[in-house]
Structure 1
Amino acid sequence: MQPRAWTFEELLAGATRSAVHLEMRDVYYSNPRFEAWRQGQRVDWADRASWWRPFHQDIADAVGRGVRVRRARVVCEPVSEYIRWEHYVTEANVRAGEQVRWLPRRETGSLLMPGRDFWVFDDQVVRYSDFGGDGAYVGEEFTDDPGVVALSAAAFERVWERAVPHEDFEIE
């Protein structure tokens, strides 16, 4: 399945039409920003320099080139503390130009989805992300197999159609 290894940055920089991301975990690895949020620290959205990261610039650059960047998150409800934080910090993704939607897991019963998070770039390459049971990132795998790419892209679109736009998705 691994035709060659690209970096995320290379794939996004080379995208000309679309980059879509499906996330299906309720907990990812802990990080300092999550831990700070857990301690009550909040982002000063007016101070862009304090939260803007290279990732956000990469997204903004892609969107500026006309690439449609979309992210769909499938989540259990009630949501985990980690997803509560992700919902909060998604403001940064939106400000970078990403479109984000959320789909409660209970609404996915009739959907067939790969069992791994993934990105699809221009309907040409899939980058799968692998995580351990504790949410720690353990690696990635790439494929440009047309059949696998088509299945992944179709799975994303089915989720996207049902999902709720970020600004309308309320976390209780």
Structure 2
Amino acid sequence: MELISSDERNRLFESFAHDAFHLELRDDYSVPNEEGPYESWLNGTADDSFMAPWTQLMRRVTESGKTVRRVRVVTEPHSSYIRWECATSNLNVEAGEDIRWLPRHHLPEGLVFPVEGNDWWLFDDKLLAVGHFDSSGRVLGSQIIDSPAVVAECIRVRDLLWDMSIPHNEYKP
């Protein structure tokens, strides 16, 4: 399986036409560029400057009329990482992202997640960038998939979860 880097995946935001959707299923992400800010937050000092490249990209994309949405499926009570994500999500929302939350215990019984339960970005209902992680949770890269059957299953799951998830400003864990 060929994987692209996070930088290469982020370049997909420069080329999609209408909608990008992210499904997040993990309660912890070991992303190297977040380790310092996350540790600072745990110690009571917030430093959100590491998010500037992402929020600038999101502003550029959403101000051009495109949508960027994400659903975060989370365990309650939250892990410390998810509490940090909740605390910093306003920056994403201010940059134009539409973020929703779905407590894991509200998932429909028997739901099977496509692409082996990995997180994914879906671009324009045509192209998937499926995240892969090592056993310690570190990002390995994204697999690009454009199979119509796999994409269709991700669209079905997206629509189901989007409709039942809670908008960020209404989510009260």
TM range (shorter): 0.7 to 0.9
Tell me the distance in 2 between the aligned counterparts of 1:22 and 1:89: 18
The structure richer in helix per residue is 2
Structure 1 outlier segments of 4+, above 6 Å: none
Contact 1:70 1:99 in 2 (8 A): yes
Tell me the distance in 2 between the aligned counterparts of 1:135 and 1:109: 26
- Provide the alpha-carbon RMSD of the alignment: 2.0
**AA at the equivalent of 2:112:** L
The gaps in structure 1 that reach 5 residues or longer are 45-49
Alignment of 1:153-164 (within 5 A): 153-164=155-166
Structure 1-normalised TM-score?
A: 0.88
Decide which of 142, 164, 167 is 1:165's aligned counterpart.
167
Alignment of 1:21-32 (within 5 A): 21-29=22-30, 31-32=35-36
Name 1:14's counterpart in structure 2.
15
Corresponding residue SS for 2:40: helix
**AA at the equivalent of 2:87:** Y
Name 2:43's counterpart in structure 1.
39
The gaps in structure 2 that reach 5 residues or longer are none
Moved more, 89-98 or 129-138: 129-138
Percentage of pairs with the same residue: 36
Name 2:154's counterpart in structure 1.
152
User: In 2 relative to 1, CA 103–88 (structure 1 residues): closer, same or farther, beyond 3 Å?
Assistant: same
Contact 1:118 1:127 in 2 (8 A): yes
- Report the CA distance between 1:139 and its aligned residue: 2.1
**AA at the equivalent of 2:68:** V
